[in-house]
Amino acid sequence: ILNVEQSPQSLHVQEGDSTNFTCSFPSSNFYALHWYRWETAKSPEALFVMTLNGDEKKKGRISATLNTKEGYSYLYIKGSQPEDSATYLCAFGPDRGSTLGRLYFGRGTQLTVWP
């Protein structure tokens, strides 16, 4: 079982603060890195799927970077809002032939944004 680590485990910030989280994954046999947002009482929703070293993706105030050589990805939220409160999951996809498509999930970072 491959190890995907996310830090911090939880984070509390004030509205308007910018914040970032880290996802660490095995740097060998890399194929893809996914980020998902999971709001309470809802289903997880995909934010980004990244496959290339140096990839940077952006969706509104949220952006992500990817370093496959050292095995980490950062998720940034600029000017956090209460509606950003959620658990953010990262998931690593290895390049292993028949296992293409399966993901290994981290435990998530739980973000709470206070008004």
Partner 1 sequence: DGGITQSPKYLFRKEGQNVTLSCEQNLNHDAMYWYRQDPGQGLRLIYYSQIVNDFQKGDIAEGYSVSREKKESFPLTVTSAQKNPTAFYLCASSRTTGGETYEQYFGPGTRLTVT
Q: Which is nearer to partner 1, 2 or 27 (CB)?
A: 2
Task: Quote the CA–CA distance of 95 and 99 in Å, as a whole number.
Answer: 7
Closest separation in Å from C-beta 58 to partner 1: 16
How far apart CA 75 and CA 54 sit, in angstroms, is 13
Check residue 99 for interaction with partner 1 (CB under 8 A). yes
Residue 18 in contact with residue 104, Cβ under 8 Å? no
Site residues (CB under 8 A) for partner 1, limited to 12-31:
31
d(CA 91, CA 49): 9
Q: Is 64 in the site for partner 1 (CB under 8 A)?
A: no
Stretch of residues binding partner 1 (CB under 8 A), selected from 10-18, 57-65, 77-85, 99-107: 99-107
Q: How many residues does the chain have?
A: 115
* Calpha distance 85→29 (Å, rounded): 32
Is position 51 an interface residue for partner 1 (rule: CB under 8 A)? Answer: yes
Residues of this chain that interact with partner 1 (CB under 8 A) are: 1, 4, 31-32, 34, 36, 42-46, 49, 51, 89, 91, 93, 98-108
